Amino acid sequence: MHKSSIAQDVIDLVVTRRGRPHAFDRLTPRSTALIVIDMQNAFMKEGAPAEVAVARDIVPNINRLAAAFRQAGSPVVWVYMTLERGGANDWTPFFVDLNTPERAKRMLDWLTEGHEGWQLWPTLDVQKSDLVVRKNRYSAFLPGASDLPARLEARGIDTVVIAGTLTNVCCESSARDAMMRNYKVVMVSDANAALTDFDHQAALTSIYRAFGDVLTTDETLAALKAGAAASRSAAE
């Protein structure tokens, strides 16, 4: 598991700006969704082309989150990185400029729908009631990259809790774009994984400073519980 702690000077800056350390310490179940990004074999399996070893360590926390969100009546969404070549979905910078031809082909092979690498890690607790979303770019909220925003809008979701891998690539990209599209954003510090502690911490710090909130798994579950209690109280 990554070492995750926001520096005190960053916390002080955030408190000065917002008046409190956490903007979203209460999560309303009916308007909050858990978004789990790219927990696929291509990122999880030993020797896979995009292996993130720490991603295997966060599976128990993701399963805890998923179970609690379902129990609260909040959607659980599994986002699959899905690559293809040609047409409107061709991603030239990725396939041509930023990877060797050998690595680009291997990534394409493993992240083509139906390949073993495209499948979710087998110990993840995925239920039939959960949603499955395919994306063709790092960010699931980039216009045209997936139908996730439309599916969330149809369910009245205005808050997204992001877990998965890589913290500083697909998860951070999704968090930034979600905030730009008016979603309240929480990243779960011990339910995200990157290649290094530095990458992980830098991404969380960036999100915390300007794009949303960062909570641990325990803090997220407490926020969900607090939001559910507030909703019940308001209904009485």
With respect to residue 60, please indicate whether it lies within any of the assigned structural domains: no
Scanning 3-143, the segments in alpha helix (DSSP H) are 8-18, 41-44, 59-72, 92, 101-110
**44-57: average pLDDT:** 97
Instruction: Tell whether the model's pLDDT for residue 53 goes beyond 70.
Output: yes
**188-193: average pLDDT:** 98
What span, in angstroms and rounded, lies between the C-alpha atoms of 80 and 111? Answer: 9
Instruction: Tell whether the model's pLDDT for residue 174 goes beyond 70.
Output: yes
| Rg value, the chain, Cα | 17
Q: How high is the mean pLDDT of the chain?
A: 95
CA dihedral 193, 195, 196, 198 (to 10 degrees): -80
Residue 87: what pLDDT? 65
User: Which structural domain, as residue segments, surrounds residue 165?
Assistant: 8-45+65-235
Nearest to 62 by CA among 191, 235, 220, 216: 191
In the chain, DSSP assigns E strands to: 32-37, 76-81, 131-135, 159-165, 184-193, 213-215
What span, in angstroms and rounded, lies between the C-alpha atoms of 140 and 134? Answer: 8
With respect to residue 52, please indicate whether it lies within any of the assigned structural domains: no
**CATH code, domain carrying 205:** 3.40.50.850
With respect to residue 86, please indicate whether it lies within any of the assigned structural domains: yes
The bridge status of strand 184-193 relative to strand 76-81 is unpaired
Instruction: Tell whether the model's pLDDT for residue 106 goes beyond 80.
Output: yes
With respect to residue 116, please indicate whether it lies within any of the assigned structural domains: yes
With respect to residue 222, please indicate whether it lies within any of the assigned structural domains: yes
ω before 120 within 30° of 0 (cis)? Answer: no
DSSP conformation class of 163 = E
Instruction: Tell whether the model's pLDDT for residue 62 goes beyond 80.
Output: yes
Beta bridge partners of 118: none
**144-172: average pLDDT:** 98
Residue 84: what pLDDT? 87
Percent of the chain at pLDDT exceeding 90: 89
User: pLDDT tens digit string along 130-143?
Assistant: 999 999 999 999 99
Instruction: Tell whether the model's pLDDT for residue 88 goes beyond 70.
Output: no
With respect to residue 176, please indicate whether it lies within any of the assigned structural domains: yes
Nearest to 207 by CA among 195, 194, 218: 194
With respect to residue 142, please indicate whether it lies within any of the assigned structural domains: yes
With respect to residue 57, please indicate whether it lies within any of the assigned structural domains: no
Residue 229: what pLDDT? 87
Q: How far is CA 93 from CA 62, 66, 179, in A?
A: 31, 34, 25
Instruction: Tell whether the model's pLDDT for residue 164 goes beyond 80.
Output: yes
Question: Positive or negative CA dihedral for 116, 118, 119, 122?
Answer: positive
- Domain count for the chain, please give it: 1
**205-219: average pLDDT:** 97
Instruction: Tell whether the model's pLDDT for residue 89 goes beyond 80.
Output: no
